[in-house]
Amino acid sequence: MRKNKKERQQLLVETIKDNPFITDEDLADRFSVSVQTIRLDRLELSIPELRERIKNVAEKSFEDEVKSLPIDEVIGEIIDIELDNTAISIFDVKEEHVFKRNRIARGHHLFAQANSLAVAVINDELALTAKASIQFTRSVHQNERVIAKAKVVKIDNSSGRTLVEVSSFANNELVFKGEFDMFRSHREA
């Protein structure tokens, strides 16, 4: 059932507060209105567009935390990170990321998102990929959002290596999984 403008805008504020990464298209579907109506509502309510919301969250939360590379060198946007434990990033597949003939994402973009997340989760000034074992489990298409989740599974201080597993999802389906053997410039105390 359609809401009046005031009710819709109130629900819009609550929905974006709960999930700042929701797209205008998803909001339009949720409220049974056009994308243009959502954009006008956001403008009226001074709610920035998705890209700006993501950028604000990433800059405020993680710029000082990530040690192994500058935050702007991460492929995708980090939305959560706990160094040497877990990290999550999102990557929106756009026209420039896909093959023109079939609109399927080029694999190196999905790999780059996962690999840079594996680097970012390392609590060290230097983190390099020593070896990676990866598997693409389904193709990803233009306009899909890929959510990559990294988990540190083993830290070996004697060798200066860290094992990071990354799983990437689009529409709650596994699209990529990888195991990254990371070299770090470990210094024992």
Task: Give pLDDT, residue 157.
Answer: 86
Task: Give pLDDT, residue 106.
Answer: 96
Domain boundaries, the chain: 3-58, 65-182
Q: Are strands 127-136 and 173-184 parallel, antiparallel or unpaired?
A: antiparallel
Supply the angle between the helices 35-45 and 5-18 in degrees, to the nearest 10: 80
- Rounded Cα distance, 147 and 156, in Å: 27
**CATH: 3.20.20.60, 3.40.50.720, 3.40.50.410, 3.10.129.10. Which one for 65-182?**
3.10.129.10
For the domain 3-58, what is the CATH code? Answer: 1.10.10.10
**pTM for this structure?**
0.67
Task: Give pLDDT, residue 131.
Answer: 96
Tens-digit pLDDT string for the chain (189 aa):
678 889 999 999 998 887 777 888 989 999 999 999 999 999 888 888 877 776 666 555 555 566 666 666 778 888 888 889 999 999 999 999 999 999 999 999 999 999 999 999 998 888 899 999 999 999 999 999 999 999 999 999 888 899 999 999 998 899 999 999 999 886 543
- Sequence-separated (6 or more) residues with CB below 8 Å from residue 165: 150, 151, 153, 177, 178, 179, 180
Tokens of 13: 């504020």
Task: Give pLDDT, residue 99.
Answer: 96
Tell me how far apart the terminal alpha carbons of the chain are, to the nearest angstrom.
63
Task: Please report how many Cα atoms fall inside a 13 Å half-sphere around the Cα of residue 143, on the Cβ side.
Answer: 6
Task: Give pLDDT, residue 56.
Answer: 65
Task: Give pLDDT, residue 79.
Answer: 81
